[in-house]
Structures are given as C-alpha cells and as structure tokens.
Amino acid sequence: MTTQPKSIVVPVPSEEDREYWAGAKEGKLLIQKCGGCGRLRNFPSMGCPHCGILKWSWVQSKGKGKIYSWIVVHPPVLPAFADKVPYNVILVELEEGTRIVSSLVDCPNEKIAIGMPVEVVFEKLTEEITLPKFRPAIGAR
C-alpha cells in the first residue's frame, strides 16, 4: 500500500527569481533591486517597471512589515487547500516599501487587521521550495 501524495501547489523557479527561492531556503527574504535606478521591487521580474533596465541584484529584507490587506478564503478551493479552509492570505507592506503576498501564521483569523505589525518566518514546502510566511511581530502577539 502506498499513501496518496498530498496535492500541493509548487512554484517552479526561473531565471529572474532563482535567487529569491534559494534565499528563502536559507531563511532569507530577498528583495530585488534594480540595476538601473536602484529601486526595490517585488514580485521578482525580469525588468524594472520604473526604468525598464533588465539587470538586478538582491538585498535582504529585515523581514518586518505591516498588513496592507487580507482575506479569509472559504470553499470552493483546490484540493491542495481543502484541509486548510478557512485560511487567510495577507498582503504585507515591508519596511523596505515593497509588498508581498503571504500567509499569517500563529494568529487566529479573527485577530487579523490592516496595519498589524508582522515579521517573516519560513515554512518548508518541498526539498527545493521554502515559502516566506509571517507571524504577528513581538509585541503585537
């Protein structure tokens, strides 16, 4: 008897975000920095929406920010999320100014609010992929 592998949704890294995922695996939240104008951006992309330069480097985020918006998802959902409903998805504005979609852990959905301070944690999804997630910042818990 083999157990049915749990269905999950996994990102496939590519040229412009390979280092982002490598960073997450090492417990670092990386933000892409434009090689032209120096502005930060997230999600990782090939080019800069400000100046169109196709070069970049990475800076490590302090991993702190505030909830910019949030939702709680109810059915219908994909089988991969069926045992998680109702689950939250949050949009965090990091102190560095960029925004990131993630999940809030260690917090009941009823306590989520816009403006809530959060800090990054890391959750292993597969051998290759670790997802940056957030928990309420110390003092906000």
Partner 1 sequence: MPAQSAIVGIGQTQFSKKIGISEAAVAYQAIQNAVADAGLQMKDIDGLVRYSLDTNNEWQLAYNLGIPQLSYFAVAPGGGNAGANTIQLADLGIKGGLAKNIVVFRARNRGKQSSAGPGQFEGGRPWEKMATQVRETPKKFHNPYGLIAAVQEMAMIARRYMHEFGITYEHFGHVAITERAHAMRNPYAMMREPITMEDYLSARWIAEPLRLFDCCLETDGGAAVVVTSVERAKALKQKPAYILSTGNANVFMTVPGTNYFKPSLFSTESAAVAEMVYGRAGVKPKDVDAAMIYDAFTPRVLIGLEDFGFCKRGEGGDFVAEGNIAWPNGSIPTNTSGGSLSEIYLHGFNLITEAVRQIRGTSTSQVKDAEVVLVASGNFSPTSAFILGSQPS
Site residues for partner 1 per CB under 8 A:
7-12, 14, 16-17, 41-45, 49, 68-74, 76-78, 80-81, 84, 86-87, 89, 91, 98-103, 114, 125, 129, 131
From the list 50-58, 63-71, 93-101, 115-123, the region that binds Zn ion by CB under 5 A is 50-58
DSSP per position, 79-109: GGGTTT-SEEEEEEEETTS-EEEE-B-SS-G
Which residue, among 65, 25, 26, has the nearest Cα to 42 in the 3D structure?
A: 65
Q: From Zn ion, partner 1, none, which one binds at residue 40 (CB under 5 to 8 Å depending on kind)?
A: none
Q: From partner 1, Zn ion, none, which one binds at residue 86 (CB under 5 to 8 Å depending on kind)?
A: partner 1
- Report yes or no: 40 and 32 within 8 Å, Cβ to Cβ: yes
Give bridge partners of residue 89 from the DSSP assignment.
71
For residue 8, give every residue at least 6 positions away whose Cβ sits within 8 Å of its Cβ, in sequence order, or none: 80, 125, 126
Q: From partner 1, Zn ion, none, which one binds at residue 70 (CB under 5 to 8 Å depending on kind)?
A: partner 1
CB of 22 to partner 1, least distance (A): 15
34 binds Zn ion (CB under 5 A): yes
- Indicate the SS3 state at residue 64: strand
Q: From Zn ion, partner 1, none, which one binds at residue 23 (CB under 5 to 8 Å depending on kind)?
A: none
Give bridge partners of residue 12 from the DSSP assignment.
none
Q: Which positions touch Zn ion (CB under 5 A)?
A: 34, 36-37, 48, 50-51, 53
